[in-house]
Amino acid sequence: PSALREVLVQIPDIKWDDVGGLEDVKQELKEAVEWPLKHPETFQRLGIRPPKGTLLYGIPGTGKTLLAKAVASESEANFISVKGPELLSKWVGESEKGVREVFRKAKQASPTVIFFDEIDAIASARSGNDTDSGVTKRVVNQLLTEMDGLEELEDVAIIAATNRPDILDTGLMRPGRFDRHIEVGEPDEEARKSIFKVHTKNMPLADDVDLKKLAKNTEGYVGADIEAVCREAAMLALRDDLEASEIPYKYFKDAIDKVKPGNTQLKDEQL
Strands 78-83 and 9-10: antiparallel
Mask 147-166, x = binds ligand ATP (CB under 6 A)?
--------------x-x---
Instruction: Give the residue with the Cβ less far from ligand ATP, 21 or 111.
Output: 21
Q: Which stretch binds ligand ATP (CB under 6 A): 16-24, 70-78, 86-94, 150-158?
A: 16-24
Q: Which of 61, 103, 97 is nearest to 227 (CA)?
A: 61
Which one of the spans 18-26, 33-41, 233-241, 248-256 is the region binding ligand ATP (CB under 6 A)?
A: 18-26
Which residue in 46, 54, 184, 40 sits closest to 114, CA to CA? Answer: 54
Where in 198-217 is the site for ligand ATP (CB under 6 A)?
A: 198
For ligand ATP, the binding residue among 70, 224, 247, 259 (CB under 6 A) is 224
Pairing of the two strands 78-83 and 112-117: parallel
Give the residue with the Cβ less far from ligand ATP, 80 or 195.
195
User: What is the gyration radius of the CA atoms in the chain, in angstroms?
Assistant: 20
Closest CA to 245 of 256, 254, 237: 237
Residue among 91 and 196 whose Cβ is closer to ligand ATP: 196
* Footprint on residues 110-139 left by ligand ATP (CB under 6 A): 117
> With respect to ligand ATP, which residue has the nearer C-beta, 150 or 182?
182
What residue spans of the chain are helical by DSSP H? 3-6, 23-29, 35-38, 40-45, 64-74, 84-89, 95-108, 120-123, 130-149, 189-199, 211-216, 223-240, 249-258, 264-270
| Shortest spacing between CB 162 and ligand ATP, in angstroms | 8
The residue among 21 and 165 lying less far from ligand ATP, judged by its C-beta, is 21
**SS3 annotation, 198-262:** HHCCCCCECCCCCHHHHHHCCCCCCHHHHHHHHHHHHHHHHHHCCCCCCECHHHHHHHHHHCCCC
Q: How far is the CB of 144 from ligand ATP (least distance, A)?
A: 23
61 lines the binding site for ligand ATP (CB under 6 A):
yes
Binds ligand ATP by CB under 6 A, chosen from 66, 72, 135, 214: 66
Strands of the 156-162 sheet, one edge to the other: 9-10, 78-83, 112-117, 156-162, 53-57, 178-183
CB of 191 to ligand ATP, least distance (A): 7
- The site map against ligand ATP for 20-59 (x = CB under 6 A) is xxx-------------------------------------
Q: Which residues in this chain contact ligand ATP in the complex, by CB under 6 A?
A: 19-22, 60-66, 117, 161, 163, 195, 198, 223-224, 227
